[in-house]
Structure 1
């Protein structure tokens, strides 16, 4: 985003998010300055900021590529942008994540940082700025969440591929 020659505006951010990051970003509602993209080929794991910070450090220590992370300053929640490959039929994983206050975002709008102030004083900022289209596997991020919180799982419960 630092190399955008036509200024840092909601429109220029959307162009960056689309062309460089592969995120179909839009200003919604039009004219508001609020930037979103719809989950689909990219999803998110949203969690309390304290867990997000521990998870990020755990992933970095174990050589797991982190990918883009958005913080919502007002609610102290972090969203890890992921490939949406977390199984939706594993109730044990869902229950573990629920107890940790982690949400899997598979559908709907995912807000992104915008250079303009958001209504209500909320603001989003990048913890890990996207610089390309890379997103870590949601399965790998979930396994990292379980590992860094000490939740022991049967290794057969969710096959993890670090690709």
Structure 2
């Protein structure tokens, strides 16, 4: 659906997709809200975003165009801010059924095949991070 290569586990009902052409950028909710506002203002929409309420994190589904980060200072800024790039493995998606545990829910669901460039989402997040975060 919406060009998401999903798989449903028949026993648990868990919906996942394999990272590949689609990747993800996960970050804390406060930073993610700032990124969403900035991307909306730039016209980068629609943004498929998953909320993880109990973890206080959002996951942006993106084009898998992010190369490994070579700059150690930039990598450290992202790591300290708890920004994670998912290039490999499974990405868990919200269930269409009500989730009493509120594990995952859509902030804005995938409506079509558009995915923002991962590089744009990551660069936008970096713009909101200080040059040096405290240890």
The interval holding the TM-score normalised by the smaller chain is 0.7 to 0.9
Match of 2:55 in 1: 75
Q: Which residue of 2 aligns with 1:143?
A: 123
The answer for unaligned runs of 5 or more in structure 2 is: none
Q: Which residue among 83, 91, 97 is the counterpart of 1:110?
A: 91
Q: Report how far residue 94 of structure 1 moved.
A: 2.4
Structure 1 gap segments, 5+ residues each: 1-16, 153-163
**CA radius of gyration, larger in:** 1
Matched, 1:54 2:54: no
- The offset of 1:151, in angstroms, is 4.3
Q: Which runs of structure 1 show a deviation greater than 6 angstroms over 4 or more consecutive aligned residues?
A: none
The DSSP-based 3-state class of the residue aligned with 1:143 is helix
Between Structure 1 and Structure 2, how many residues are aligned? 131
Greater helix content: 1
Give the alignment's Cα RMSD to 1 decimal: 2.1
2:80 is aligned, of 89, 99, 113, to 99
Distance 1:71 1:135 in 2: 17
TM-score normalised by length of structure 1: 0.72
